Structure 1
Amino acid sequence: MFKFTRSEVRDLIIAFFVISLCFAIVNGGRNPNAILTILPFVMVGVGSGFILHELGHKFVSMKYGYWAEFKLWPQGLIFALITSFFGFVFAAPGAVYTYANYMTDEINGKISVAGPVVNIILALVFLAIAIAVYPSAFTSETSVILFIVCSVGYSINSFLAVFNLLPIGNLDGSKVLRWNVGIWIITIAIAGILTAASMTMGVESLVRLIIGM
């Protein structure tokens, strides 16, 4: 059964708010007014991206019969805040810990890839919604707001996917690579392309290219 402990819910909420603030600082250029303005939009992208990423790990872990629980890493939150003032976010607020006496590389890899795959799917969903609402954004304020939310959601989720798939230390990428090189290449390539498009073209230019405007 998919259960949460009280401390786990607390840790998820704290990590959610702090990571949202970090991305708002980066996107707001450290301007207090800009940060406060963009924070609600960032919270939607981070809320879906961060929470569902961790729940992806937890769900697959428990599907295999293991107990899994998210635990906060305070040092990681502090480091994320510090890096956000330098224009990027090293997002390592905590992790889902899976309790098992023994686990194969295959199961560990599947648990690990679940989080980034969730982010990739969310990025594509946000992009699809952005494409759908963009034509009406010229005449509708609601569509403008929805487009901004989806743009931020696309950018953040694609970044979270590629970041977590890096084969560094204890990140998901190391465990996925150890399990299956092919799957790691495919997932990090997709995440990398999505992230590169966001960083080089910008979401609006990407949407205009796709719909031919």
Structure 2
Amino acid sequence: MSTNSTLRFSSRELRDLLVAWVALGLAFAIFFAGGGQRALANVVGGGVAGPFLVSLLTAGVGFLLHELAHKVVAVRYGQVAEFRADYGMLFLAIMSAMVGFIFAAPGAVYHRGRLTDRQHGLIALAGPVTNLLLAAVFVPVFVGGVTLGSSFLSLLGSRGVVINLFLAAFNMLPFGSLDGKTVFGWSKLAFLAVFVPSVLLTAGAFLFGLGF
């Protein structure tokens, strides 16, 4: 492991993180508003600020911390690592939300340097595990919102849970450039230990309509 493990951010990386955070917040706000005309009606009616804030604090934060987890672990292993936004995919996320579904691939942390399979696997695993931890953090927010009768807190908590569970499950799929493929190639046991609970918890959340 390299001793040069200082976490640094370039101005371009900070800009890309900010743009991706806002774009994802907008995309998820449109999606949860029903997309298309329903979302536009909310904008006209002045009812978009709350949903947008909720999306920034749930989907946006889930994405940010997912990517930062990759970066932190990569830097710990002596890598040069930076996030790069995919502006085309961010545009697609917003457009897909307009027609009623969400397809979000906002970018990725790119790193270079020599790594073992285990280190590659742990870097990949860091993102989905972070989303699972975030889902757990949002549970008391949801419970507190229900207890206090706060619709904002209950919505924030429920969406924080379901979005982060979904992010964990989706990114653990063992296909393409997703984290799950790297983790699966390193350790099938580690893959199953994260993938199976993520999928089951996500399915349960959707089954009970959490976040909608």
Q: Which residue of 1 aligns with 2:179?
A: 172
Any conservation in 2 of the 1:49–1:157 contact (CA below 8 Å)?
A: yes
- Work out whether 1:103 is the aligned partner of 2:115: yes
- Please list every run of 5 or more consecutive structure 2 residues that lacks an aligned counterpart in the other structure: 1-5
- Work out whether 1:28 is the aligned partner of 2:41: no
Task: Please state whether the residue corresponding to 1:98 is helix, strand or coil.
Answer: strand
- Work out whether 1:130 is the aligned partner of 2:137: no
C-alpha deviations, 1:53-101, integer Å up to 9, x for none? 011000000111111100011222122223223433222110001111x
Q: Which residue of 1 aligns with 2:3?
A: none
Q: Which residue of 1 aligns with 2:73?
A: 60
How big is the shift at 1:125? 1.2
- Work out whether 1:2 is the aligned partner of 2:14: no
How big is the shift at 1:40? 1.0
Q: Which residue of 2 aligns with 1:140?
A: none
Separation in structure 1 between the aligned mates of residue 144 and residue 50 of structure 2, nearest angstrom: 24
- Work out whether 1:121 is the aligned partner of 2:130: no
Q: Which residue of 2 aligns with 1:14?
A: 19
How big is the shift at 1:183? 1.1
The verdict on how the C-alpha distance between 1:35 and 1:199 changes in structure 2, with shifts beyond 3 A counting, is farther
Any conservation in 1 of the 2:27–2:94 contact (CA below 8 Å)?
A: yes
Q: Over the residues paired in the alignment, what is the CA RMSD in angstroms?
A: 1.7
Any conservation in 1 of the 2:155–2:211 contact (CA below 8 Å)?
A: no
Task: Please state whether the residue corresponding to 1:88 is helix, strand or coil.
Answer: coil
Q: Which residue of 2 aligns with 1:189?
A: 196
Q: Percent identity at matched positions?
A: 38
How big is the shift at 1:185? 1.1
Amino acid paired to 1:38:
P
Separation in structure 2 between the aligned mates of residue 167 and residue 55 of structure 1, nearest angstrom: 21
Amino acid paired to 2:29:
A
Separation in structure 1 between the aligned mates of residue 106 and residue 172 of structure 2, nearest angstrom: 16
Report the number of matched residues: 199
Separation in structure 1 between the aligned mates of residue 89 and residue 120 of structure 2, nearest angstrom: 22
TM-score for the superposition, normalised by structure 2: 0.88
Q: Which residue of 2 aligns with 1:159?
A: 166
Separation in structure 2 between the aligned mates of residue 109 and residue 167 of structure 1, nearest angstrom: 12
Any conservation in 2 of the 1:68–1:97 contact (CA below 8 Å)?
A: yes
Any conservation in 1 of the 2:144–2:153 contact (CA below 8 Å)?
A: no
Q: 1:150 aligns with which of 123, 142, 157?
A: 157
- Please list every run of 5 or more consecutive structure 1 residues that lacks an aligned counterpart in the other structure: 138-142, 206-213
Separation in structure 2 between the aligned mates of residue 4 and residue 195 of structure 1, nearest angstrom: 32
